[in-house]
Amino acid sequence: MMRLPWFSYRAPRTATEAARILAGEGPTAMPIAGGTDLLPNMKRRQQVPATLVSLRHVEGMKKLANGAGLTLGAGLTLTEVADAGIVREKYRALWQAAAQVATVHLRNMGTLGGNLCLDTRCNYYNQNYEWRKAIDFCLKKDGEICWVATASKRCVAVSSTDCAPALIALDAKVKLVSAAGEREVAAADLYKNDGIDYLTRRPDEILTEVRLPQASGWKSSYWKLRRRGSFDFPVLGVAAAVRTASDGTVEDARIVLGAVASRPLVTPASNALVGKRLTDDAIAEAAAKAASRAKPLDNTDLDIYWRKQVVAEFVGYALKEIRGDDLRATRVRYARHAL
Ligand SMILES: Cc1cc2nc3c(=O)[nH]c(=O)nc-3n(C[C@H](O)[C@H](O)[C@H](O)COP(=O)(O)OP(=O)(O)OC[C@H]3O[C@@H](n4cnc5c(N)ncnc54)[C@H](O)[C@@H]3O)c2cc1C
Ligand code: SF4
């Protein structure tokens, strides 16, 4: 049985107090929300914070406010996000992403904020301490070499959050609170393409809110590839959002790929759609463009070449679903339930 290492536990009531504790304790302290990622990582000694700052009792973290757009507290569980009628109706990509994270139990505990700040993943890293020790560890933790790209000075562990690509496609912003004040950053700017230093969030900042713009005119969709349709992390996530004029011409579009780099990848493929209708040809062109950007590495599940090949297909599914095609049968092939 793997045991947790010793740690101190703090349970502040406000985000500012939480941020103050983080600032005071320095980089050996970490926030904990649902703990569904952090606690297993601690058991495997991938992350060994000396102090955990719990966000469970922090006020305002469960906010759900629908006004000029939608504000979601970072402490909402993924179940609460997926169950919110407004998310399902107007921000479908987020609903589909949240509803496909892990399992029911993990979604009942795991939060939106924790999902956005999720550690990057790699076959050589998500292993217990003895396994990692046997290969002399790796760059990301305790070692000096990257086993995926041995000449690389940079860790290429994979961004595996389902909600981040969806929120980037939906043009969301996040609020970060520190002892010095607060700032708002675009969800797209929360990430860096570095498997170790993968967030632009400073260690003393708490992500408190996700802010979505009004959804009028937009339709969105999220498609996820994984081995087991009811359980696994994505080995590919495709989020697309499209705004069309009344005659069906695309006015704006965003296509974001997850699990193909150390950060969600915003593709320029949307340029292929603007000014056109969502015809099969336009979709095929955008899908091919998006796929050309994806460079999956051999450090997650499933065959790397096949994962690269299916990117275009998945972009196509997302766009066709936005067009209004009935893709429930196709979804059932990849997930246990048709979303
Ligand atoms: C078997 C299994 C399967 C999984 N499958 C998936 C999957 O398919 N897709 C997926 O996306 N995830 C998956 N996960 C990971 C995880 O369950 C979810 O990502 C979940 O949403 C994490 O949220 P949490 O609240 O539990 O985060 P925690 O574990 O509490 O924290 C995760 C990280 O975020 C930081 N953090 C948490 N909240 C905040 C905040 N508000 N501000 C700043 N930093 C914060 C923590 O310090 C930590 O670094 C899986 C986990 C397991 C164990
Ligand atoms: S990508 Fe390389 S450095 Fe990063 S976790 Fe994997 S093996 Fe380690």
Per-residue pLDDT tens digits for 59-113:
999 999 999 999 999 999 999 999 999 999 999 999 999 999 999 999 999 999 9
Tell me the CA–centroid distance for residue 118 and ligand 1, in Å: 5
Which of 45, 119, 120, 124 for a ligand 2 pocket mutation test, highest count of atoms within 8 Å of Cβ? 124
Nearby residues of 89 by Cβ (< 8 Å), 6 or more positions away: none
pLDDT band at 338 (very low <50, low <70, confident <90, very high): low
pTM of the model: 0.97
CB 331 within 8 A of CB 318: no
List the structure tokens of 64.
Answer: 């759900």
How far apart are alpha carbons 81 and 116 in whole angstroms?
13
Q: Is the CB of 158 under 6 A from ligand 2?
A: no
Ligand 2 pocket residue status of 122, Cβ below 6 Å: yes
Regarding the beta carbon of 286 and ligand 1, being less than 6 Å apart is answered no
The closest ligand to the CA of 149 turns out to be 2
Mean pLDDT of the chain: 95
Residue 241 has pLDDT above 60, yes or no: yes
